[in-house]
């Protein structure tokens, strides 16, 4: 198999990275995708940087064993806490989700008040604030963790009264801050896009870094001559580290297509 024919690898702690897969399928329909969701160890967002780095290394090693040509770290927590270390030791090109999201936020805001919501680990790392300020030091930033969103998404409660109440409570300070742009700084959150938009109020732009990340992947494939020579729709393989049934259900509902294979792996 030539380098160009290899798949794109994607990992997240759970189903969240599927938001990136959805954009990749749309933008690069002829590429094979191999996804790993670390469902046995989700959430990452409450864990220490050392633990997130250790898990991320194992996830990369698994995807490498599947002979991928590029890996998307489709997890903001891993992108915030582990990406610089991973980049220093990894030979394959890596794409994280943080910078694309920060760029989009700086581009979208009109009143230059941006809110960032994410996991506790991502917010505590301050990585988004640094990235947005590097782009435009004049932007005012409010950031806050929404730790209940990830289990609600993993549970599949995407359109649910409990989720709406949770969102209203988390977004109350964002409304007071007056942000016109909210960065969904966790790849699970776009699955709750409608609920979050409802709680944020009218006219607020939600930045989902998945789309920006897919654009970055496309650019990198072109730059390195790694685009697949095939022009047909290709395979999506999903691997998880715990029971596959619920994962398949959420994945199919979210992607709007059947997933041929969801397989459990053990490290
Ligand atoms: N979806 C991941 C993120 O973007 C991780 C959520 C979690 O595992 O806590 O942060």
Q: Which helix (H) or strand (E) holds 184?
A: strand 181-185
CA 177 to chain centre: 25
Q: The tokens 């409304």 sit on which residue? A: 175
Predicted local distance difference test score (pLDDT) of residue 53:
98
Does the beta carbon of 186 lie inside 6 Å of ligand 1?
Answer: yes
Structure tokens at 246: 């619920």
Residue 75 appears among annotated catalytic residues: yes
Q: Which of 263, 124, 94 is nearest to 185 (CA)?
A: 124
Q: The tokens 């770290």 sit on which residue? A: 73
Predicted local distance difference test score (pLDDT) of residue 58:
97
Predicted local distance difference test score (pLDDT) of residue 9:
98
Quote the CA–CA distance of 14 and 238 in Å, as a whole number: 11
Averaged over 32-40, what is the pLDDT? Answer: 96
Quote the CA–CA distance of 123 and 45 in Å, as a whole number: 9
Structure tokens at 28: 């690069």
Q: Which residue's CA is the nearest one to ligand 1's atom 2?
A: 75
pTM, 2 dp: 0.93
pLDDT at 249 over 90: no
For 66, other C-beta atoms within 10 Å of its C-beta total: 15
Quote the CA–CA distance of 134 and 5 in Å, as a whole number: 36
The single residue of 52, 186, 207, 238 carrying the catalytic annotation is 186
Predicted local distance difference test score (pLDDT) of residue 258:
84
List, in sequence order, the alpha helices (H) in the chain: 18-27, 49-65, 76-81, 83-89, 98-108, 120-125, 127-135, 149-154, 161-177, 193-200, 209-223, 244-255
Pick from 36, 37, 42, 101 the residue to mutate for probing ligand 1's pocket: most ligand atoms within 8 Å of its CB: 42
Residue 186 appears among annotated catalytic residues: yes
Does the beta carbon of 154 lie inside 6 Å of ligand 1?
Answer: no
Mean residue pLDDT across the chain = 95
- Ligand 1 atom nearest the C-alpha of 188 is 1
For the chain, percent of residues with pLDDT exceeding 90? 87
Q: What is the pLDDT of residues 55-102, one digit of tens each?
A: 999 999 999 999 999 999 999 999 999 999 999 999 999 999 999 999
Averaged over 207-219, what is the pLDDT? Answer: 94
Q: Residue 261's pLDDT band (boundaries 50, 70, 90)? A: confident
* Alpha-carbon distances of 97 from 162, 164, 213, rounded to whole Å: 28, 26, 6
**Greatest mean pLDDT among 153-157, 190-194, 234-238:** 190-194
Structure tokens at 75: 């997890």
Pick from 45, 51, 123, 189 the residue to mutate for probing ligand 1's pocket: most ligand atoms within 8 Å of its CB: 45
Does the beta carbon of 208 lie inside 6 Å of ligand 1?
Answer: no
Q: Which of 236, 259, 212 is nearest to 31 (CA)?
A: 236
The single residue of 25, 63, 75, 259 carrying the catalytic annotation is 75
Phi/psi for 204 (5° steps) reads -90, 130
């Amino acid at each position: 198999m030539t380098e160009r024919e290899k798949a794109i690898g994607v990992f997240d702690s759970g189903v969240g990275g599927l938001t990136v897969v959805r954009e990749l399928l749309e933008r690069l329909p002829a590429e094979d995708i191999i996804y790993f969701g670390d469902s046995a160890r989700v959430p990452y967002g409450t864990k220490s940087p050392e633990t997130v780095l250790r898990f991320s290394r194992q996830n990369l090693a698994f995807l490498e064993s599947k002979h991928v040509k590029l890996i998307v770290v489709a997890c903001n927590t891993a992108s915030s806490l582990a990406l610089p270390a991973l980049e220093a030791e990894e030979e394959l090109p890596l794409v994280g989700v943080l910078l694309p999201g920060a760029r989009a936020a700086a581009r979208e805001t009109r009143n230059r008040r941006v809110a960032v919501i994410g996991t506790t680990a991502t917010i505590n790392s301050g990585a988004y604030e640094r990235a947005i300020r590097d782009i435009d030091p004049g932007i005012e930033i409010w950031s806050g963790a929404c730790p209940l969103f990830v289990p609600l998404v993993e549970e599949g409660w995407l359109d649910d009264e409990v989720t709406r109440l949770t969102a209203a409570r988390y977004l109350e300070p964002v409304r007071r801050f007056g942000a016109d742009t909210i960065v969904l700084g966790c790849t699970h959150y776009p699955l709750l896009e409608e609920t979050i938009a409802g709680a944020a109020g009218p006219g607020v732009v939600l930045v989902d870094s998945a789309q920006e990340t897919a654009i970055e992947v496309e650019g990198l494939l072109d730059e390195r001559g790694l685009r697949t020579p095939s022009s047909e729709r290709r395979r999506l393989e999903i691997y998880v580290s715990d029971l596959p049934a619920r994962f398949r259900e959420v994945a199919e509902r979210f992607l709007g297509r059947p997933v041929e294979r969801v397989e459990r792996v053990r490290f």
